[in-house]
Structure 1
């Protein structure tokens, strides 16, 4: 009976973690470039139960011969479930037009699938950003602005890195409305005035061959144990990535589906609560049986 309590409790713990992931997804449904997390629930290894020293059944099973210590199968025992991990989904979010000069969306749907460890994996492209501790992070957040020093920054305050792996800085008091960003990431100032036109930078684009190896750092950014190469690096090639100025990639969270999943998770949690309540009532009744003088 106690084992049933543990099984129900494991289900509650797992569903609680799943609900946390769903809540994070819903909270970031409007965050530019956010990638949702899917929670994987797995069962604990099953136990195969047997009886030993069961001479009578052993004798029946072996034509009357009794073998001391021979095991008699009983069946399998399941030990509940657990939330193994949260796996990000790097599917493309909806791309919407904003008209803002420093809104940039990545289109990486043309990147071919790669075979990684015997399975097909879709690589994903990212903008490279400089994190507060000086390390490099990767994000799909293409909603940018200029800070007081002319640095191109994301809504999280991270500085966007250029193809030279250095932060992109717009000098000479050039406003963001005077910038043109090409499909290859080239940033050109005053594109409509030939006398003043000049290239002021190029956006660095990194491609993760297996994006599932990235780890979420918070603030809509990911980290990698091994720095990702830029497609503009020497010897590199563009695998099929283009940028769209004036567009923004939205979160890939489906708010309505997420709310439905949250309600189903709550129902599952309540079902496990009822199982524990039933066990608790049975244990109270068992505790009262055989008491002397009531």
Structure 2
């Protein structure tokens, strides 16, 4: 009976964590470049059950007889748990904003890679300089210029160029005078040949196995080992395109997420009823064994 209580409780804990992931996905459905988290649930190891002091009779005699073999009843699981939250790096929908510093990544043409015998879809990111000097990675291309002319993210992190250095526009160039091509080259006054000049190039990195990345908050990811830029020696652009004046929406399907939340709540309530039934049984057992007087 107590095993049943533990199993139902483990289901509630697991569904609670899954609900938290779904809620976070729904809250970030309008966050540019956000990648949803999928909760991976697994069962605890199963145990074999056998009848005590009982032996299986197979009808064999002599040398083929199985003497002293315990009869097996089957397997039992001790519950379920949410092992981890895995981001889904599928391409989000590109929405036109016409803002000159909005840049969206399109990496759907990157070929799959075989890693440890499994097909994995690599993902591209913008590298940014974190406050502690390390490099973070984001898909949110809603950029702006700070007071010093640095190209920064919506949270103020400086965007790194292809040369691994922050991109800075020191001249009095207006945002509307900037153009960014599909490879990330930033040009000023592109429509005026007499004034056209190169400002820099937006850096891009490709994570061959994006599942190894770790969320660092503020729609940023971190890596234990620095990811190489596509412009580094020995690397090339595997099929990533940038689109100026566009923003990549999150890949959260709000309708499916709300449906999953309802299913999760129903499962949570079912486990509650199981615990309530066990509680009533224990109360009756206690009342039967109670001595009046």
- Counterparts of 1:206-225 in structure 2 under 5 Å? 206-225=205-224
Counterpart CA distance in 2 for 1:292 and 1:127 is 72
Determine helix, strand or coil for the equivalent of 1:99: coil
Asked whether the equivalents of residues 181 and 187 of structure 1 are also in contact (C-alpha less than 8 Å), the reply is yes
The answer to whether structure 1 residue 109 and structure 2 residue 108 are counterparts is yes
Per-residue deviation, 1:70: 3.7
2:268 matched residue in structure 1:
269
Q: Which stretch of structure 1 is more off in the superposition, 72-81 or 134-143?
A: 72-81
Asked whether the equivalents of residues 34 and 252 of structure 1 are also in contact (C-alpha less than 8 Å), the reply is yes
Asked whether the equivalents of residues 53 and 69 of structure 1 are also in contact (C-alpha less than 8 Å), the reply is no
1:293 matched residue in structure 2:
292
- Counterparts of 1:91-170 in structure 2 under 5 Å? 91-170=90-169
Q: Deviations over 1:232-260 (max 9, x none)?
A: 11232111111110011000001111111
Asked whether the equivalents of residues 110 and 240 of structure 1 are also in contact (C-alpha less than 8 Å), the reply is yes
Asked whether the equivalents of residues 58 and 66 of structure 2 are also in contact (C-alpha less than 8 Å), the reply is no
Counterpart CA distance in 1 for 2:99 and 2:286 is 70
Counterpart CA distance in 1 for 2:60 and 2:30 is 71
The answer to whether structure 1 residue 203 and structure 2 residue 202 are counterparts is yes
Per-residue deviation, 1:132: 1.5
Asked whether the equivalents of residues 53 and 70 of structure 1 are also in contact (C-alpha less than 8 Å), the reply is no
1:16 matched residue in structure 2:
16
Per-residue deviation, 1:74: 2.3
The size of the alignment, in residue pairs, is: 291
The TM-score normalised by the length of structure 1 is 0.94
Per-residue deviation, 1:209: 0.8
The answer to whether structure 1 residue 50 and structure 2 residue 53 are counterparts is no
- Counterparts of 1:166-205 in structure 2 under 5 Å? 166-205=165-204
1:248 matched residue in structure 2:
247
- Unpaired stretches in structure 1, ≥5 consecutive residues: none
Q: Deviations over 1:24-65 (max 9, x none)?
A: 1011000000000000111111100123433xx45x545699
Asked whether the equivalents of residues 52 and 69 of structure 1 are also in contact (C-alpha less than 8 Å), the reply is no
